[in-house]
Amino acid sequence: MTESIYLDNNATTPLDSAVLAAMQDCMRHCYGNPSSKHHVGAAARERLIAARIQVAALLGCAPGEVVFTSGATESNHMAIMGALAIDPAKRHIVSSAVEHPSTLLLLGHLAAQDVEVTLLPVDGEGRIDLDRLASVIRADTALVSLMWANNETGVLFPIAEAAAIAKSNGVIFHTDAVQVVGKIPVDVEEVPVDLLSLSGHKLHAAKGVGALYIRKGLRLPPLFFGNQERKRRGGTENLIGIVGLGVAAALAARAIAQVGPGIGELRDVFERGLLERMPQTWINGASAPRVPGTSNLRFAATDAEIVLDGLDKAGVCASSGSACTAGGTEPSHVLVAMGQTADMALASVRFSFSRFNTVAEVERLLELLPGIVGPRIDGATQKVGG
């Protein structure tokens, strides 16, 4: 059987062996409830404290500013709903047209209620206009919520500058940082965000665990009520998942100087090699700053699902966009927002790398792709970008 090449790391990442070992140890030896006062509960509580310190170190914040959640969807909802609840007179939210579905679907629900939502457009490369952001903030704006890196294209938003604009207007700023944590350095003291979401399974930890950074002094109302997490997130903690997230965060912090450049080089080698072999290829967002490791490509005169099926049969895992929406046949809302037609968007494939990928895998992919895509190309010309 052909050895699998996994290039869908923006959807989920393989569990790191050290993370698995820590979780198994916790399962065997740390079964107590962290809220219990006896010694078994105290042992569990120590594991919880240690994991919080590890995640805080990765983000450059105090441990008390980290709240553990079930994942990025909950973190995003907690940030948005919480910010909206702080001042009932502020019923306006600013976000972008290319956010993750976990944000856009919630904003759509709120817009059907009594909340006004402004979605910033993007240009053909997936970039927002900071002047446009500044112009749409109002006296009743409760929150600006922008993803740090797009999960489909990898395009980076200028989060430090956007957060500064929000802060200068007295508006809370949230970022969905799922696709950057562990790939580029994140320091919330240097980038003045108020709220930041992250997900364990995008960081070589387990599914079902994440975190929300809440800047000290921001009294964010809880989404779930209870005494856990300093009354900010009710419910008995998922200690096994949290311990794994802590180890994943510690591993990411130690390797951050190597991981980003490493997966960035893999992507660049792949894209250069592909354009040499298949000049009828578009790189979506190529002219914009991109997070390391994400490559979103449009192939001429073909259908992404056919390409993905061919890749899958050859042992290569890739995707056509967000795993939260890729089960359908709708064109990517991200690529459509970038000005592409439905047919263009439906011809795009995303390859996303992790530190477990190798140059040999890239070379194998470059050997495979022309045979899978080539027969469907019909005299198109090379173009980079949208």
Q: What are phi and psi of 65, to 5 degrees?
A: -95, 0
* Eight-state DSSP code of residue 70: S
Tally Cβ neighbours within 10 Å of residue 326: 19
DSSP 201: G
Exposed / middle / buried, residue 300 (Cβ in 10 Å: 0-12, 13-18, 19+): buried
Asked if 324 is an active-site residue, the reply is: yes
CA nearest to 292, candidates 201, 193, 181: 181
Do 74 and 223 meet the contact criterion of CB atoms below 8 Å apart?
yes
β-strands 294-299, 281-283: how paired?
A: antiparallel
Ramachandran region of residue 41, left (φ > 0), alpha (ψ -120 to 50) or beta? Answer: alpha
The 210-214 sheet, strands edge to edge: 66-69, 210-214, 195-199, 172-176, 141-147, 92-96, 116-120
Catalytic pick among 30, 61, 317, 324: 324
Phi, psi at residue 240, to the nearest 5°? -60, -45
Under DSSP, is residue 30 helix (H, G, I), strand (E, B) or coil? Answer: coil
8-state DSSP, 149: B
Q: Are 177 and 198 in contact (CB under 8 A)?
A: yes
C-alpha separations of 357 from 32, 212, 248, 284, 362 in Å: 37, 28, 17, 22, 8
CA distances from 365 to 19, 223, 260, 351 (A): 28, 44, 21, 10
Q: What is the CA radius of gyration of the chain?
A: 21
Question: What is the largest distance, in Å, between two alpha-carbon atoms of the chain?
Answer: 72
Active site positions, annotated:
324
